[in-house]
Structure 1
Amino acid sequence: MDNVITVRDLRVLDGRKTLVGPVTFELPGGSTTGLCGPSGAGKSTVLRALVDLLPHGLTRDGDVEVQGQAIRYGKGDSALRSTVVLVPQTPVVFGGSILDNALFGLRHLVRASRAEMRDRVEQALREAGLWNEVSGRLDSPAQALSNGQRQRLCLARALALEPAALLLDEPTSALDERSRDTVEESVAALRGNRTVLLVSHDPAQVQRLCDRTVSLEHPETLALSAAAA
């Protein structure tokens, strides 16, 4: 199985001070990998480092390859933004319709016909487990969706870009139990089809959803038990 992302000795620095790392891991194609560690270990920071969205003043070093190509950060590369996509902890829903929100990334990062974009959005909404709930009201305000639906809409917006890898940062931490279960079902359905790096504070959720883990305390890749795979 080819690796979609390869990370070697990645560190995040504040000046000369190392805040996170070094961490080394690989994301094989179609795998779901849990990024684990105690609160404050820098799990979300690693995700942001991978997509060049670190807070001002922080830098990174180490090597990152995406589909065998070394990433050169700081170039404003829109191709990276559509190849490795971060879905943040808090769902970001813009003003406008459900369809407008689902199309947002495509309109800004991909050149495609209107028909192709609409087809990709429908497929993404299906993959995120949201199509049956919104197909008859795509022109309705996205702000009217529940929190769980908003999180799945953000997932669909990312999937519409057909990324090489999805980075999910605590995708259910702000949800009630029922909404959490629905989002988990959508993430579980991606296994084997999408390459996912998942940050979660919940070890049981990692066990349910992930094939393998990377620990920031002991940053080597570990396979989970066969029962969890």
Structure 2
Amino acid sequence: MDHVIAVRDLRVRDRDKTLVGPVSFGLEVGSTTGLCGPSGAGKSTVLRALVDLLPAGLERDGELEVLGRPIAPRKGDADLRCKVVLVPQTPVVFGGSVLDNALFGIRHVMKASKEALRERAEQALSEAGLWKEVCDRLDSPAQTLSAGQRQRLCLARALALEPAALLLDEPTSALDERSRDTVEESVAALRGRRTVLLVSHDPAQVDRLCDRTVRLDPPVAAPRPTLVG
């Protein structure tokens, strides 16, 4: 297996209209890859296509392999979404405590004792760079965290699943400069240890965080027929 994820000629279509692609790339183990392109090129749509979460009415074609296994369109399952985890642009924090949020994913997919689950969650909080800030308030409501802390909590929730790849969709676009820097530090710390696909509108951020970039351009519209006479 050469890549964690391999994409060949992936397109997203709305009936006969191509909305995204074609795009081809591979994610090597431990690499951080930036997915770049102008607004409207479909960067976030590509991420959703990789985890089989396209909106109703949209379909993907082309080849997608995860850990060497072909993934057919609309055939994804919970197992796939534990291996490739999407962290959305807007951090989704559930009701309950900080610890409840960190445990949210793994308690549904991992059969283990409460102690083992808690240990995994605490390790993920540490890997996401949040542990020192929340270790003394794990039982506090997650809604009390700052925007940057919430984003890192979502990152921890994903990391707790031990995914093969993380898909990060504009993880700092809604943050102030200080929070952005803190989240960037957490993402940079994953380099070489986790496989990451990062969507960002900021070329400087991609240069700071990524080993390589994939350029996504809007699909070329088919020429209109020429009327003669």
Give the TM-score, by structure 2 length: 0.93
Q: Which deviates further from its counterpart, 73-82 or 33-42?
A: 73-82
Q: CA deviation at 1:201?
A: 0.3
**What corresponds to 2:194 in structure 1?**
194
- The 8 Å contact of residues 51 and 76 in structure 2, kept in 1 or not, is answered as no
Does residue 116 in structure 1 map to residue 116 in structure 2? Answer: yes
Equivalent pairs, count: 219
Q: Deviations over 1:38-78 (max 9, x none)?
A: 00000000000000111111010111111111113323511
**What corresponds to 2:97 in structure 1?**
97
Q: CA deviation at 1:4?
A: 0.6
Aligned-partner Cα distance in 1 for 2:133–2:73: 39
Q: Which deviates further from its counterpart, 203-212 or 70-79?
A: 70-79
Q: Could you tell me which amino acid in structure 2 is paired with residue 91 of structure 1?
A: P
**What corresponds to 2:159 in structure 1?**
159
Gaps of 5+ in 2: 220-229
Gaps of 5+ in 1: 220-229
- The 8 Å contact of residues 60 and 73 in structure 2, kept in 1 or not, is answered as no
- The 8 Å contact of residues 8 and 24 in structure 2, kept in 1 or not, is answered as yes
Q: Deviations over 1:99-148 (max 9, x none)?
A: 00000111223333222211111110000000000011100000000000
Aligned-partner Cα distance in 2 for 1:76–1:36: 25
Q: Deviations over 1:12-61 (max 9, x none)?
A: 00011110001000000000000000000000000000001111110101
Does residue 34 in structure 1 map to residue 34 in structure 2? Answer: yes
Q: Which deviates further from its counterpart, 110-119 or 17-26?
A: 110-119
Q: Could you tell me which amino acid in structure 2 is paired with residue 61 of structure 1?
A: D
Q: Which deviates further from its counterpart, 98-107 or 147-156?
A: 98-107
Percent of aligned pairs sharing the same letter:
79
User: What's the secondary structure of 1:208's corresponding residue?
Assistant: helix
**What corresponds to 1:168 in structure 2?**
168
Aligned-partner Cα distance in 1 for 2:39–2:142: 32
Q: How does 1:125-164 map to 2 (within 5 A)?
A: 125-164=125-164
- The 8 Å contact of residues 59 and 73 in structure 2, kept in 1 or not, is answered as no
Aligned-partner Cα distance in 2 for 1:89–1:174: 8
Does residue 213 in structure 1 map to residue 213 in structure 2? Answer: yes
Give the TM-score, by structure 1 length: 0.93
Aligned-partner Cα distance in 1 for 2:59–2:125: 35
Aligned-partner Cα distance in 2 for 1:218–1:68: 28
Aligned-partner Cα distance in 2 for 1:199–1:193: 19
